[in-house]
Amino acid sequence: MKLKLFLLLGSLLLLLVMCKQKKETDSTAFEIEFQINGLEGTSTWFVEQPVANYGNLFVDTVTISQGKLLYKGNIPYPKLSKLVSFEKKGALVFMLGPGKHKITADYKNISKYGLGTKFEYAPSKYDDDYLLQSELEKFWSIPAQRTFADLQKQLKVKERAMFKEVYGVSQKEYYQWIRSKDKEDKKKARAVYSKVDPTAIKQLKEQNTQNKLKLYEFNKELIIQYLKKHPNSYVSLFYVLENIFLFGPPQTAEVLEEYVHLFGNELKGTKEYKAIFKKYQAEKNLKEGIAPDFELPTPEGERIKLSSLRGKVVLVDFWASWCVYCRKETPNLKQQYEKYKDHGLEILSVSFDTKREHWLKALEEDHMPWLQVADLRGVKKSEVTGDYGVNAIPFIFLLDREGKVVAKNIRQPSMVNDEAYSINFHLKNIFGF
């Protein structure tokens, strides 16, 4: 009798657990039906979502047949999502949350990045998602967004005109020569550059910097105004996320502090908010001159602590073998190392390769005669990048002899418009020559 009672209680407990699990699964399940009119045959599309510390991430690959797709899965709360076609070079951008939805669009109207693409969105009983989608569309259509887009175009036109006035050729043509592998094109670019007045180049760079600052300030005010009106909106959350980790300008500790304090309590449990807050903490620490310590292995297996380099001026170089622009920094780093190594300069290159053999092959190819360590978890998963607020490479920091941050996100002179972001400028200031 006792055995039967025990088995009965056990079965009831198991049933309760299964019901709870089913309820939790049901509450996060989504089903979205796409109807893309005018799309014939079968084609491959991608589902993207913004991911903290990384930018957009492909979360799925889907096949659309004769314009139809039924997409299912689970999602804990609404997220900004994109259905992307590389063939079309366009996307549908929508808020995806639990429940059943339907999106109907015309293939011919799908625009680049998905901005402004018109489509019908029909959720079932989950009105919150419908409201979020309406909010997203309103957000893109507010006059301030159009003003921002117009300002971007105006400044771009002005920049191109100034470039042609200084260089004597169009910006597009000059950079085509620079990027070309043809020796004659390279020769043309050098010939043009040799005739340009250095003072005019400096003025052009300063003007471009001012134009960018004007855009950054406008963009910041747009975000803050929206956050004040919608502190608990997932649209606000993902808009800020994309601006910090993907499209936006470098964010200062002061700007990030405004963002984190404007968010409502309903969003503070999301991993996206936590990533934004962590970015704020990292920028705040760096502003106060604190360089977070870390310890990583060399190719030989010896472990090096950043703090062990106190007493030297240190360039901390975040890179990876697959990062083309990282490796383009190497020739200039070699020049600066040779110039200052006997005067107290050390370079610590931190690779974020995920495969050891790729890291070692790059070291063999590039012959970098300074300290090398690696975090083989990669940019996305590394605690080091999180502590430093870094979500993209190359990223180079300069530390003084006490281990305090002097400059960050600095590059070789040819890659920057402002001396404040030039490696050579800062090293010359420190060493005096």
pLDDT value at position 417?
66
Query: For the whole model, what pTM was predicted?
Result: 0.69
Average pLDDT over residues 296-322: 96
Instruction: Tell me what pLDDT residue 127 has.
Output: 41
pLDDT digits (tens, 9 = 90+) for 20-74: 444 444 588 988 899 999 999 999 999 888 776 555 566 789 999 999 999 999 9
Return the pLDDT at 390.
Answer: 84
Reply yes or no on whether the pLDDT at 285 is more than 90. no
Mean pLDDT of 243-256: 74
Is the pLDDT at 124 greater than 80? The verdict is no
Question: Which stretch of 16-30, 59-73, 241-255, 379-393 has the lowest confidence by average pLDDT?
Answer: 16-30
pLDDT band at 246 (very low <50, low <70, confident <90, very high): low
Domains recognised in the chain with CATH numbers: 25-127 (2.60.40), 144-287 (no CATH), 295-431 (3.40.30.10)
* 296 phi, psi to nearest 5 deg: -140, 160
Query: Sign of dihedral through CA atoms 417, 418, 423, 427?
Result: positive
Q: What is the pLDDT of residues 201-233, one digit of tens each?
A: 778 777 877 777 777 777 778 788 888 888 888
Beta bridge partners of 43: 64
Identify the pLDDT of residue 70. 94
